[in-house]
Amino acid sequence: MPNSKIEMERKIPVGISSCLLGQEVRYNGGHKRSRYCIDVLSDCFEFEPFCPEMAIGLGVPREPIRLVGEADETPRALGTVDASIDVTEPLLKAGRDIAAERSHLRGYVLMKGSPSCGMERVKVYHPNGMPNTSDSGIFVRALREANPALPLEEEARLNDAVLRDNFIARVFAYDDWITSVESDPSYHNLIQFHSRQKYLLMAHHYQGYRELGRYLAEAHELPLEQAMHEYILAFMRHMSHRATRKTHTNVLMHMLGYMKKSLDTEVKQELIDSIEEYRLGQVPLVAPLVILKHYLKRYGGDYICEQTYLNPYPHQLGLRNYI
């Protein structure tokens, strides 16, 4: 990953499991320091650490907890040695409190496998101690219920280039929503947000792109607060879909279509060939994008040039060199 510093007017506030910043708050007094979060993402994210176990007074070191329950019931967080230790309700309260007290957060990076912070696939055990199924951590469950629009991701999954791109794009899109729409509510700002996010949304979920277009055509008939609430929940849900080479190719061809009358045959073929090389997996996304952006500066109108798809996050992150 690139090491150059990212210059931003302000950093985006993002929550993170404390152990990922190197804080020794795990049950055994250890940590899970994330070099990527500290050395790369901290250039554009203002990380706000939080450890649910410490917040509810478990201390360090402490008896580990695990999720316990039957397959047809919601698991509880119990002590691994003393099952009478039940911290389910305190962890749920911690999640609700964080959602309320830190509503300014634009995302949250979580510790994989944690019975409090794990986003998914956290082991759930039978009361007899045998492995049962899997679920999300208790703290995360409450956090997600309190703010389902908030982008969440496990730090370990950021090693996957597509998931990394997906999460960071969602954080920046959600930040755009908070700063441009939620801070100044109006139908105009809602429509403007959708207008510049359309192609990014198309890359993540084409059906969602069409669905929200139809929704906004009639949204003015709804109370503004309702329209905004329903829109952002749907938008963030659709954005959670992973963009693929097929969906990116579709977007690139749509953007090329805006310039088809302005480009000569040779240039048009150069762009088509570059997009095809990307579709076939021969080059990363950045290759056709560099050429496309060059000609959009010359021949593209304001609408297409202002699409966040072209620059969904700082280019210094180098994310599109890997997808």
**pLDDT tens figures, 82-117:** 989 999 999 999 999 999 999 999 999 999 999 999
Q: Which two tokens stand for residue 177?
A: 């929503």
Residue 111 · residue 17 · CB < 8 Å: yes
- Residue 137's region, left for phi above 0, alpha for psi from -120 to 50, else beta, is beta
Residue 48 · residue 63 · CB < 8 Å: no
Average pLDDT, the chain: 95
Average pLDDT over residues 172-180: 98
Q: 117: Cβ–Cβ under 8 A, 6 or more apart, which residues?
A: 17, 52, 110, 111, 137, 139, 140
Length of the chain measured in residues: 323
Out of 70-84, 139-153, 226-240, least confident range: 70-84
10-25 tens-digit pLDDT: 899 999 999 999 999 9
pLDDT over 60 at 162, yes or no: yes
Report field, pTM of the whole predicted structure over 0.75: yes
